[in-house]
């Protein structure tokens, strides 16, 4: 499968993994110390072909994602879970460890972040849904991130992430209903 957009990844091993899954061009940030030359490449790619940011589900990956989102508006973002990014039999976490099927699925479900944030949900909605400040809140946020394809985030950042991806009240409510049903069945 050919991907039109340029995919931004952290390093060479990520590029190799992407190319096992799809036919695509990549830009490598070479870690979280993303420089101005790399930002300019990403801006040009976004202007001409579009960009999908696909970083590791860890702190450095989120840092890169935030830098790009601030400096290059309109990029799409692809996410995988920590479980999908774990190296089998050993240590390691990253896009380079994900299966080709996982990578393809994440790219197909990439979302565009929006700078214009429309307030739909409130902190109270998140508390009422058990996503902040209660027993099992972290696990619920992990499930929500998987269901909505927006990645995991901590309680403080959840509201911002939902707004950036313009998750509607209906999408949010449907995902919470699935989580509650799973809890009942457990």
Q: Which sign does the torsion angle of CA 98, 104, 109, 112 carry? A: positive
> Residues 66-76, buried b or exposed e (16+ Cβ, 10 A)?
ebbbeebeebb
Q: Look at residue 119 and tell me whether its pLDDT is greater than 60.
A: no
Q: What is the pLDDT of residue 174?
A: 94
Q: C-alpha distances in angstroms, 86 versus 25, 31, 74, 89, 134? A: 24, 18, 29, 9, 27
Helices assigned H by DSSP within the chain: 12-21, 36-48, 59-71, 82-85, 100-108, 123-128, 137-148, 155-164, 169-185
Residues making up the chain, counted from first to last? 186
Identify the three-state secondary structure at position 91.
coil
Average pLDDT value for residue range 164-177: 88
Q: Percent of the chain scored above 90 by pLDDT?
A: 58
Average pLDDT, the chain: 89
Residue 170 Cα to chain centre, angstroms: 20
pLDDT over threshold 80, residue 71: yes
108 or 33, which is more confident?
108
**Higher local confidence (pLDDT), 51 or 90:** 51
Task: Note the pLDDT of residue 101.
Answer: 95
Instruction: Give the residue with greater pLDDT, 41 vs 152.
Output: 41
**What average pLDDT score do residues 125-150 get?**
91
At 92 the pLDDT is 78
pTM of the entire predicted model:
0.70
Model pLDDT, residue 114: 60
Helix (H) or strand (E) holding 26: strand 26-28
Cα distance between the two ends of the chain: 38
CATH number of the domain located at residue range(s) 6-112 in this protein:
3.40.50.140
* Structure confidence by residue, pLDDT tens digits, 54-66: 999 888 998 899 8
Contacts of 124 (CB under 8 A, 6+ apart): none
Per-residue pLDDT band at 77 (split at 50, 70, 90): very high
Quickly state the pLDDT bin for 115 (edges 50, 70, 90). low
What whole-number distance in Å separates Cα of residue 88 and Cα of residue 77?
Answer: 25
Instruction: Give the per-residue pLDDT at 121.
Output: 76
Q: What is the mean pLDDT of residues 86-92?
A: 69
Structure tokens at 109: 């479900």
Q: In this model, does residue 117 exceed pLDDT 50?
A: no
């Amino acid at each position: 499968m050919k991907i039109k957009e340029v995919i931004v990844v952290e390093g060479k091993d990520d590029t190799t993994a992407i190319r096992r899954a799809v036919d695509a061009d990549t830009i490598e940030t070479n870690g979280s110390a993303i420089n101005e030359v790399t930002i300019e490449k990403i801006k040009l790619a976004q202007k001409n072909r579009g960009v999908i940011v696909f970083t590791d589900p860890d702190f450095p990956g989120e840092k890169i994602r935030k830098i790009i989102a601030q400096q290059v508006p309109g990029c799409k973002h692809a996410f995988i879970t920590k479980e999908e990014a774990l190296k089998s039999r050993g240590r390691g976490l990253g896009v380079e460890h994900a299966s080709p099927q996982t990578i393809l699925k994440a790219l197909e479900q990439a979302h565009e972040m929006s700078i214009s944030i429309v307030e739909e949900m409130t902190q109270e909605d998140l508390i009422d849904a058990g996503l902040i400040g209660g027993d099992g809140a972290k696990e619920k946020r992990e499930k929500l991130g998987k269901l909505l394809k927006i990645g995991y985030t901590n309680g403080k950042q959840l509201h911002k992430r939902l707004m950036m991806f313009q998750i509607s009240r209906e999408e949010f409510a449907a995902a919470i209903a699935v989580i509650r049903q799973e809890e009942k069945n457990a």
